[in-house]
A and B are shown apart, each in its own frame.
Chain A
Amino acid sequence: MSLAKRMTDLDTFLAYSVALEEEAADRHDELADVMDVHNNPEVAGTFRKLAHYSRLHAQEIRDHARGANLPVIAPWDFGWETMEGPETADPGDVNYLMNTAQALKIAMGNERRAHDFYFDISEGSPDEDVRALAGEFAEEEKEHLELLEKWQAKIPESEEEVMFDPDPAHTPE
C-alpha cells in the first residue's frame, strides 16, 4: 500500500508532516556543523538558515495540530519511500569544498521531494481533509522551491564550480 493510501486521518498525516520537517531541520543542522568543522563558514551559514526554515515550518504544522493527539510513530515505522524522510538531505551529497550554489541545489532537491510527497497524498489519500491539507502543504513546498531558486539567482557562485583541494585529506603521508 502506498504511503498516500495509508494517510487515512488528519492526525497521522500531521505526525508524518512534523517528523518530515524536524528530520530535515536536524539534517541541515548536522550539515552546518560539518561545514563549520571543515572551515566552510559560508555554506555552514546556508545550511543553518535552511535548518531554521525547516523548524519554522515544523512549528507551523505543530500549531496546526494544537489540541490534536498525534500518534507516536517509531522512526522505522514511517515507511518512507526513501531511506529517510523525503525532505532530508542525503549526507553523501555534501563535500567540504562545496559552495553555496551547490548547497542550495541539494536543498532544492529536498524541497522537490517534499512537494512530491505532499502532492501524492493530496491526490491519493482516502480522507478528504487530509487531501486538502496535503494540497496546501504541497503548494508551500513549491513556494519554498521558488524562494530557493531566487536565492540561487542572486549569488555569484555556480553549482558547476569544480571542487579542488591542493592538499586533500586522503593524501598518504
Chain B
Amino acid sequence: MEQATAPIPLKPRDFKSAIKPVWCPGCGDFAVLNAITKALAFLELPREDVALITGIGCSSRIAAYTSVYGFHGVHGRALALAGGLKAARPDLTVLVAGGDGDGLSIGGNHFIHACRRNMNMTYIIMDNEVYGMTKGQASPTTAPDWAHGKLTPQGTGIRPFQPAGLALTAGASFIARGFTGDPNGLAKILVEAIRHQGFSFIQVMSPCPTFRPEQMEWKRHVQGFRDEVTDDPAIAAQRIQEDDGMSTGLIFKREYPVFQPGTGTDSGMDSGMDEIEKEFVI
C-alpha cells in the first residue's frame, strides 16, 4: 500500500525562476523579488495558484524572474490585464507589479479605477522616481527640481504625485509603503496585502543606483510610521500629507465591497461567455 507523503514546503528560492535578472547591481528591485518570494513561501501558496502580471520597464521584468505564472504585459496596462485574469480566474492569487512611470503615468487611469473597483489583487509599484529602462527621464514621482534628465535639464517644475494619497482618494482599501532596504519588513507587508480581501496597494521605495545614485542614501532616512494603521480615510490622508514620504508600514486598511464579476450563470451574473464561445465554433 502506498503511503502519502507530506509535500516539502517550498522555500523562497523555489519561487525564483532560472532566469538571471538583468537589473543593475544594487537595484532595489532585487529586494522586491526577494520579498515576494519570501511572502509566497510563508503563505505556502502553490506556484500554480499564483500569477504575477507586469507592465513595461526595468521593474516589470520581475515576472520572468519568478516561477509562478507570469505575464509581461503592455506598458501601463498591467492592471487591466490582471483585472481580466482575476475576473476569469478568481481562484488565483493575482499580484501586479511595475514601476512609477508604468503605473502612475502611462497606466495612471487604470490605477485609479483599479483602486475604486477593489478587485481582490495586490499591486506593487516599485518607485525609483525615474524612467530607468529608457535611460533616465523624470517620472510622475520625480521631484520638480531633479535636473539630471536630458529631457528636463532644469527639472520638470511639476509637483510629483503622492502614490499613497492618490490611492486613498481613488478608494483603495489597503495602502502601504515599503522600502527595499528592509526586505523582511516588505515581505510582512506583502503577506498582509495578499491576505487582504480587495485591492491592496504597496508603494515600494526602490532605489535606482544608476540614474538616481543619491537614492542609495534613503536607507539613512527611512523610518516606520509612528502610528498604527487606520481605517479612517481622513486620518490616513492627514498622515500621508504630513509625512515626508520616507515612512514605511501599513497606512490604511478598510473592508470595502470587493468587485468580482460573475463567471457563469450560477453566479447570478451571466457573463455571456457561452454565446461568445459559440461564435468560434466552425
Residues of A within 8 A of B (CB): 26, 30-31, 33-38, 74-76, 78, 80, 83-84, 91-96, 169-173
Contacts and interface: CB of A to CB of B under 8 A. Distances in A.
B259 interface: no
A76 B22 contact: no
Nearest to B187: A75
A38 B135 CA distance: 17
A94 B26 CA distance: 6
Contacts of B219: 83, 92
A95 B210 contact: no
Given A91-B26, A170-B210, A76 B184 contact: yes
A170 B25 contact: no
A171 B187 CA distance: 34
| B12, B34, B187, B219: most-surrounded residue (chain A CB, <10 A) | B34
A83 B183 contact: yes
A74 B38 CA distance: 9
Interface in B139-159: 149-150
A92 B182 contact: no
Contacts of B12: 26
B20 A84 contact: no
B136 interface: yes
A52 to B, nearest CB: 15
Contact of B21 (A37, A80, A83): A37
16 contacts: A37-B22, A75-B183, A75-B187, A76-B184, A83-B184, A84-B184, A91-B27, A92-B181, A92-B209, A92-B216, A92-B219, A94-B25, A170-B210, A171-B135, A172-B136, A172-B149
Given A76-B187, A172-B150, A37 B20 contact: yes
Nearest to A169: B210
A85 to B, nearest CB: 9
B274 to A, nearest CB: 45
Nearest to B35: A75
B63 interface: no
Given A33-B21, A74-B42, A91-B26, A83 B135 contact: no
**10 A-B pairs with least C-beta separation:** A172-B150, A76-B188, A33-B20, A75-B184, A76-B184, A94-B25, A92-B26, A34-B25, A170-B210, A75-B38
| A33, A75, A78, A93: most-surrounded residue (chain B CB, <10 A) | A75
Nearest to B30: A91
Interface string B1-32: 00000000000110000001111111100110
A3 to B, nearest CB: 14
Given A74-B42, A170-B136, 16 more contacts: A26-B34, A30-B30, A34-B20, A34-B23, A36-B20, A37-B20, A37-B21, A37-B22, A38-B25, A76-B187, A83-B183, A84-B183, A95-B25, A169-B24, A172-B150, A173-B135
A169 B130 CA distance: 15
B132 to A, nearest CB: 9
Contacts of B181: 83, 92
B139 to A, nearest CB: 15
Contacts of B42: 74-75
Nearest to B191: A74
Interface string B169-207: 000000000000111110110000000000000000001
Contacts of A80: 184
Contact of A26 (B13, B26, B184): B13
